[in-house]
């Protein structure tokens, strides 16, 4: 409880105290700039912290939280039960529909994913569960224009994107995504594959802070350097 309270207090600081905290602050800024009627998707919803930002910034929009872990899904259903503009979907977003083995990290659920990723601490406790998988192209209503997608799925971001290619091609939403060594490499995802996915849709990849200040987007080689040199692991794709 004390640890959670300290984390909450740190998140309120306007000064970045860590790389993760910096990404949180920049993500909050990007979402706060959305028009009030924007529609958003939070892939890897977990406790709904980003979904809260989405619904508060865009109260007239429709928002979707994607969460595969059963107890987290149940928590989110209770949390958003009285909010008509928030829908919680119990799947792992991917590029195939079906049932898949899922690595559930009991000691640190935020590390959970379709495949086991590297852990920062050696004593994490995990187990295998079964979850439903589906494409965002299947589960998001086609009559809703999506304006922003946040993807935090511990390395499976390319699978999510491949399953949302029609949605992204049609709507050209802003996509905030994690892509870093220790997670993405377990899925065979590379910065070249991510960059080319967006390039084929006439979209660019930028650093979060550069996007906010309208600075130049990354080239493929610059994006690769960010990844391989572990300089940053949160990025934004945009028109």
CATH topology assigned to domain 22-238:
Rossmann fold (3.40.50)
- pLDDT one-digit tens code per residue, 1-13: 444 544 554 555 5
Let me know: does 44 contact 92? Beta carbons within 8 Å: no
CA distance 166 to 11: 35
Write the Ramachandran bin of 151: left for phi over 0, alpha for psi from -120 to 50, otherwise beta.
Answer: beta
Q: Within a 10 A sphere around the Cβ of 94, how many other Cβ atoms? A: 23
- pLDDT one-digit tens code per residue, 33-88: 999 999 999 999 999 999 999 999 999 999 999 999 999 999 999 999 999 999 99
Domain borders along the chain are 22-238
Q: Which residues contact 142 (CB under 8 A, 6 or more apart)?
A: none
Q: Is 149 helix (H, G, I), strand (E, B) or coil?
A: strand
CA distance 65 to 58: 14
Single pTM value for the model:
0.92
């Amino acid at each position: 409880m004390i640890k959670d309270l300290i984390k909450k207090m740190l998140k309120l600081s306007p000064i970045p105290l860590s790389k993760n905290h910096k990404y949180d602050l920049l993500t909050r800024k990007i979402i706060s700039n959305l028009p009030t009627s924007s529609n958003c998707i939070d892939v890897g919803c977990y406790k709904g912290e980003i979904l809260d930002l989405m619904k508060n910034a865009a109260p007239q929009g429709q928002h979707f939280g994607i969460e595969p872990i059963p107890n987290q899904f149940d928590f989110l259903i209770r949390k958003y039960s009285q909010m008509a503009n928030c829908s919680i979907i119990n799947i792992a977003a991917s590029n195939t529909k079906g049932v898949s083995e899922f690595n559930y990290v009991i000691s640190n659920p935020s590390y959970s994913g379709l495949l086991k990723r590297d852990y920062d601490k050696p004593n994490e406790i995990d187990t295998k569960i079964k979850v439903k998988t589906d494409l965002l192209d299947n589960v998001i209503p086609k009559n809703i224009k999506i304006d922003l997608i946040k993807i935090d799925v511990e390395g499976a971001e390319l699978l999510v994107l491949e399953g949302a290619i029609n949605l992204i091609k049609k709507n050209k939403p802003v996509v905030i995504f994690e892509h870093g060594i220790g997670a993405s490499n377990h899925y065979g995802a590379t910065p070249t594959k991510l960059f080319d996915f967006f390039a084929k849709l006439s979209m660019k990849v930028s650093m979060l802070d550069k996007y906010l200040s309208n600075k130049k987007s990354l080239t493929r080689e610059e994006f690769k350097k960010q990844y391989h040199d572990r300089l940053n692991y949160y990025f934004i794709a945009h028109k």
